Amino acid sequence: MRNKNAYAKRMEDFTDTILVCCPGCNKKAIVIYQKPVPGKKDQPAVKKVSCIHCGFNKSASQQSSITLITNSNKILPGNYIVIGLPIDPFFHLPLYLVTDCCKNQLWAYNAEHLVFLKNHIGASLRERDVREKQNNSIGSRLPKWMSAAKNRDAILKAISFLETKL
């Protein structure tokens, strides 16, 4: 199995719908992100979270945002979009699709993200087009433990577990 797509996808490609733990009842809720229309400054990005179980509903919009990619626990004041942690980028709620795996946490934003991870991890050959600089792609940014062949079976088993939560 070959996977060339891993170096064309970015985390932002999976942020339209994100499954989170509802802050009201801790069941599955959804964060919806509607990107701003390019060239229209009067139409800001729209972010909302809602839960069908308890009715929790919250929305937020803003004109512009800053993307903060961090692995530290440092808290910075401001309204940031956080990418790269097991929380949703906008409301910072814990993700619903999270499990322990290989002494780490395996997480995904949604079903599409899970399929992507399954295909990438399960690929026996991961080809990268070195002519293009794609260092901001998911394929180039996954932690080493996820790319290690020795962890492949355990990660695929954990992904299968997360698929049962959908």
Global pTM reads 0.84
CB under 8 Å to 76, separation ≥6 — which residues? 68
Distance CA 165, CA 153 (A): 19
Quick one: tokens of 68? 């903060």
- Give tens-digit pLDDT for 36-93: 877 777 777 889 999 999 999 999 865 445 555 555 666 555 677 788 899 999 898 9
CB under 8 Å to 102, separation ≥6 — which residues? 145, 151, 154, 155
